[in-house]
Amino acid sequence: MADPRFFQRAGPFALAELAKAIGAETGPGVDPDYRVEDVSPLDTAQPGQISFLDNRKYVEAFRASRAGACVVGPDDADKAPKGMNLLILREPYVGYAKIAQMFYPSTIPSPGVHPRAWVEPTAVLGEGCRVAAGAVIGANAQLGKRCDIQANAVIGDGVTMGDDCVIGPNATVTHAVLGSKVIIYPGAQIGQDGFGFAIGSSGFVKVPQLGRVIIHDDVEIGANSTVDRGAGPDTVIGTGCRIDNLVQVAHNVQLGAGCVLVSQSGVSGSTVLGNYVQVGGQVGITGHLKIGDGAKITGKSGIMRDVPPGATYAGIPGRPAKEHWRIVAAAERLAKKGEV
């Protein structure tokens, strides 16, 4: 059970209600009125709780589980212990996620502007917004409905966002246009100047950064990540992107829809990622490249050339993963020979 100091549980829900919400079929002998109190992992679940099986590694835990109900794929339903109420779904983890959202909805505790927040008079807040203590909202900012601006967050002048956005504590958003359902995690810094200067004979000269950050709907940007605004063109984060913690996105970068950038990765200026690109942890991608749709970059790689759509790249310098691992294996063999 989640710690009640931090999480407020909703429910209970009847099993039939959960099944309908996630679009699952009910297994044989399921009681549609079975009352579900909470979610729980297979190994700690109790009667009255719902769990899920998504990975064959956990089939034994599934067989032994005391969970009162479980979301499971059609091929695994026959392995259930006797008396378990099954919800059958092709994507059981997705189903579990939706059920967990029902039990632990991300509600705004108490809408309104905290007396210790500062909202410029020209800012416009939609219905149901919260502005927490210490948060600052600049002139002419426009927030949609139910946005949650958390403690000590800073929203710059003129920033606009759609509905249901969350800006975490100590995060900053300036020079940016956000869609709906955008979550900016604590400490993330969005919209500052990119790393732009002209190198002259008498030193560096700052180049004014005149673009913006455009963030489409349903994007998450992790804690302490940084997204610089464009230098002239905009920096663009496509719909549904998931950016982890401590990630750097430089000026003029464009991410297509559904890209995933794992922690501590970085994308240099003006590089363009297609849709559904996956970038592993601590990857670096240099500037002015094109990374094709659906490409995957394995963790710690350093990408210095364009990556074609669908390709998996690895290594420093990055290359097709198979080539990379062939080189690693060849070097291993060579070292072993050297020992003889």
Q: Which residues are catalytic?
A: 251
For the chain, the distance separating the N- and C-terminal CA atoms, rounded to the nearest angstrom, is 58
Q: Is 86 in a helix, a strand, or coil?
A: strand
The nearest distance, CB 31 to a second copy, in angstroms, is 25
Using DSSP bridges, classify how beta strands 35-36 and 38-39 pair: parallel, antiparallel or unpaired: unpaired
Nearer to a second copy, 29 or 74 (CB): 74
d(CA 54, CA 308): 31
Sheet holding 25-26, edge to edge: 25-26, 85-88, 69-72, 49-52, 38-39
> Which contiguous run of DSSP H or E holds residue 336?
helix 321-339
CB of 329 to a second copy, least distance (A): 8
| Min CB(254)–a second copy separation in Å | 16
Structure tokens at 314: 């690895």
Angle at 84 between CA 82 and CA 89, to 5 degrees: 125
Residues 332, 176: Cα–Cα separation, whole Å: 49
Closest CA to 10 of 40, 45, 36, 48: 36
For a second copy, the closer of residues 5 and 82 by Cβ is: 5
Cβ nearer to a second copy, comparing 78 with 163: 163
Measure the CA–CA gap between 169 and 223, rounded to whole angstroms: 10
Q: Which CB sits closer to a second copy, 64 or 329?
A: 329
Name the pairing type of β-strands 35-36 and 13-14.
Answer: antiparallel
Q: Would strands 85-88 and 25-26 be described as parallel, antiparallel, or unpaired?
A: antiparallel
CB of 34 to a second copy, least distance (A): 22
Dist. CA 9–CA 24, nearest whole Å: 22
State the minimum distance, in angstroms, from the CB of residue 26 to a second copy. 20
Toward a second copy, which CB reaches closer, 78 or 332?
332
Residue type, 74: P
Closest CB to a second copy among 40 and 85? Answer: 40
Least distance (Å) between residue 25 CB and a second copy: 17
